[in-house]
């Protein structure tokens, strides 16, 4: 069995933190009614979704887009004809008139975009999973801690209608002592519905391949690796990073949970040949708050839908589904099959990474905080803790053993 530290270094890159750069430059102070000028880094499917959500927000202006694939830049220009386009995101960051950036690159790129954006004095809307590995999470935390920037992590359910209701229901007076939280994500679609066709122009003339690879292990150009990056460990944490993180981040904020003490993940790839990440999996996270947090996911059945959670206490149970339908069931009563609370899931297509969506509200909250300098609904700390939890899952799966979080070392062992 590979040494854990050697393995993590091979998978996630070097662990040397960025050198201290002193105080980061601050952007201009905006008034409550000021227009926020923003740019997008990563204009794929999800990037274009949040780009349009940002344009729908009041008093914002889309001014620039960066991507390594010319096709994506052409698509973004159709959405915002006046925006400048760049094949190097650093040129976007050089524009001092840009107040904020939205980052929606593949997961292995997040820290590589986030740290320079913070250094450039930009506020950041960072798509989840916030960090790809422990070393990247630490680099991002160091940059954020040395700045005065606003950071919203893209766990949009924290801006949805279910969050305040769950907070109200999840009180000790109503729930008693909570010892278990069972969460599910079910989708009946091989490859998770992520498999994309390869366009004719997906070649080295139109894709900046080395820029895409970043700090990942180098490979010759492969259009499938580029278009279907979610299939490969070099760039993706699979459905743990795509969807489990949403449920983890939501409940971590509701319950005030910290990084798990211990995590075990098992599973396999049964229906998606050629995909390295699993399509069927079980996760068990032992929380130091004496709660067992489990997550179960499958790409071969849709019974529970794309998000079904049960919070179990000595006085009752809270049920929550992907459409943010919420029910409290007092202990001693039984509401029948969970299917009564689950709507049939729509067929998943490429880039579909969740069910119920509060992206517009989440984006509006981000821009409100850019102006007010208040903490957003999904702050850096929730993004950091949920990323570490997800990293523990994928490391456990690949090492085929339980892993622990060492709070003194601040590392996975």
Looking up residue 147, the CATH number of its domain turns out to be: 3.40.50.720
Host domain of residue 370: 4-158+359-380
Residue 312's pLDDT is 98
Tally of CA atoms within 13 A in the half-sphere of 387 that contains its CB: 30
pLDDT, mean of residues 140-145: 98
Same domain, 20 and 150: yes
Mean pLDDT over residues 403-408, rounded? 95
**Residues linked to residue 280 through DSSP beta bridges, in sequence order:** 268, 298
β pairing state of 316-321 and 308-313: antiparallel
In a domain, 225, yes or no: no
- Mean pLDDT on 381-396: 98
Residues 188 and 296 in one domain: yes
Contact at 8 Å (CB) between 124 and 151?
Answer: yes
Tell which wins on pLDDT, 349 or 245.
245
243 and 290 share a domain? yes
Residues in the chain: 413
User: Are 109 and 69 in the same domain?
Assistant: yes
pLDDT above 90 coverage of the chain, percent: 85
Q: Is residue 109 part of a domain?
A: yes
- pLDDT, tens digit (0-9, with 9 covering 90-100), for 194-215: 999 999 999 999 999 999 999 9
pLDDT of residue 356: 54
CA 85, CA 66: separation in Å to the nearest integer?
A: 6
Give the pair of three-digit tokens for residue 161: 């209608």
Average pLDDT, the chain: 90
Residues 6+ apart with CB under 8 A from 65: 39, 40, 43, 51, 72, 73, 76, 77, 80, 83, 84, 85, 86, 92
Q: 353-374: b or e for each residue (b if 16 or more CB lie within 10 Å)?
A: bbbbbbbbbbbbbbbbbbbeee
Same domain, 85 and 105: yes
pLDDT interval class at 335 (50, 70, 90): low
Quote the CA–CA distance of 137 and 236 in Å, as a whole number.
Answer: 15
Which pLDDT score is estimated for 17? 37
Same domain (yes/no): 256, 126: no
Say yes or no to pLDDT of 16 above 60: no
Nearest by Cα to 363 from 100, 144, 16: 100
Whole-prediction pTM: 0.90
CA of 8: how far to CAs of 5, 199, 276, 346, 395, in Å? Answer: 5, 34, 17, 37, 8
Q: State how far the Cα of 405 lies from the Cα of 393, in Å rounded to an integer.
A: 11
Structural domain includes residue 63: yes
Q: Looking at the domain assignment, is residue 254 inside a domain?
A: yes
Closest CA to 175 of 78, 251, 88, 240: 251
Q: What is the mean pLDDT of residues 314-341?
A: 82
DSSP-derived 3-state class of residue 165: helix
Q: Note whether 278 and 364 are same-domain residues.
A: no
pLDDT score for 334: 72
* CA–CA gap between residue 105 and residue 93 (Å, rounded): 15
pLDDT for res 207: 98
On whether residue 208 sits in a domain, the answer given is: no
**Distance from C-alpha of 144 to C-alpha of 387, rounded to nearest angstrom:** 15
Q: Summarize pLDDT for 22-72 with one digit per residue, the tens.
A: 344 445 566 766 999 999 999 999 999 999 999 999 999 999 999 999 999
Q: What is the pLDDT of residue 29?
A: 62
Tokens representing residue 272 in the block: 């998606």
Q: Are residues 134 and 184 in the same domain?
A: no
pLDDT in tens, 70-116: 999 999 999 999 999 999 999 999 999 999 999 999 999 999 999 99
Strand segments, DSSP code E, in 168-302 are 178-186, 262-268, 280-287, 291-298
Paired sense of beta strands 100-103 and 403-406, if any: unpaired
pLDDT over 60 (residue 348): no
What total number of domains does the chain contain? 2
Q: Is the peptide bond prior to 411 cis by the omega test (within 30 degrees of 0)?
A: no
CB atoms within 10 A of CB 150: 25
Are residues 352 and 376 both part of a single domain?
A: no
Distances (CA, A) of 185 to 82, 247, 390: 39, 9, 15
Contacting residues for 3 by C-beta, under 8 A, at least 6 apart? none
Task: List Cβ neighbours of 228 (8 Å cut-off, separation of 6 or more).
Answer: 191, 194, 195, 196
Task: Report yes or no on 123 lying in a domain.
Answer: yes
Rounded mean pLDDT of 326-342? 70
pLDDT at 224 over 50: yes
Is the predicted pLDDT of residue 144 greater than 60, yes or no? yes
The first and second tokens of residue 225, run together, are: 């690796």
Interval 392-402: pLDDT, tens? 999 999 999 99
Q: Report d(CA 142, CA 100) in Å as an integer.
A: 19
What pLDDT score does 333 carry? 78
Q: CA angle, corner 45, sides to 39 and 51, nearest 5?
A: 30
CATH code of the domain in which 172 resides: 3.30.360.10
Do 146 and 240 belong to one domain?
no
Same domain, 35 and 69: yes
pLDDT surpasses 60 at 231: yes
Whether residues 185 and 327 fall in one domain: yes
Domain assignment present for residue 320? The answer is yes
**What is the average per-residue pLDDT within 356-364?**
90
């Amino acid at each position: 069995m590979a040494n854990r530290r050697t393995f993590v270094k091979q998978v996630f890159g070097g662990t040397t933190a960025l050198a201290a750069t002193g105080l980061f430059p601050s952007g201009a102070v905006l008034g409550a009614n000021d227009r926020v000028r923003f740019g997008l880094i990563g204009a794929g499917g999800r990037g274009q979704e949040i780009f349009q959500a940002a344009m729908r927000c009041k008093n914002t202006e889309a001014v620039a887009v960066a991507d390594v694939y010319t096709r994506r830049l052409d698509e973004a220009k159709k959405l915002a004809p006046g925006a400048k386009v760049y094949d190097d995101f650093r040129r976007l960051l050089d524009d001092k008139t840009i107040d904020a950036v939205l980052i929606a690159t593949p997961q292995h790129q997040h820290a590589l975009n986030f740290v320079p954006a913070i250094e450039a004095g930009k506020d950041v809307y960072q798509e989840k999973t916030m960090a790809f590995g422990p070393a990247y999470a630490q680099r991002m935390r160091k940059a954020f801690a040395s700045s005065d920037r606003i950071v919203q992590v893209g766990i949009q359910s924290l801006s949805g209608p279910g969050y305040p209701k769950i907070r109200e229901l999840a009180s000790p007076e109503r729930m008693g002592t909570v010892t278990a939280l069972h969460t599910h994500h079910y989708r009946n679609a091989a490859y998770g519905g992520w498999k994309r066709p390869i366009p004719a122009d997906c070649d080295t003339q139109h894709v900046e391949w080395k820029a895409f690879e970043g700090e990942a292990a180098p490979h010759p150009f492969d259009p499938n690796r580029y278009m279907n990056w979610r299939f490969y460990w070099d760039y993706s944490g699979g459905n743990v990073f795509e969807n489990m993180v949403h449920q983890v981040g939501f409940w971590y904020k509701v319950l005030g949970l910290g990084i798990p003490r211990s995590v075990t993940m098992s599973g396999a790839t049964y229906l998606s040949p050629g995909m390295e990440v699993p399509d069927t999996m079980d996760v068990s996270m032992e929380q130091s708050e004496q709660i067992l947090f489990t997550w179960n996911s499958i790409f071969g059945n849709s019974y529970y839908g794309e998000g079904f959670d049960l919070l179990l206490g000595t006085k009752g149970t809270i049920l929550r589904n992907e459409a943010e339908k919420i029910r409290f069931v007092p202990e001693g009563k039984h509401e029948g099959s969970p299917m009564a609370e689950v709507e049939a899931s729509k067929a998943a297509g490429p880039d579909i990474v969740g069910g119920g969506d509060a992206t517009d509200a989440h984006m509006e909250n981000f821009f409100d905080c850019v102006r007010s300098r208040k903490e957003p609904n999904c702050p850096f700390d929730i993004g950091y803790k949920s990323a570490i939890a997800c990293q523990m899952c994928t490391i456990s799966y690949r090492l085929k053993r339980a892993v622990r979080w060492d709070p003194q070392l601040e590392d996975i062992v």
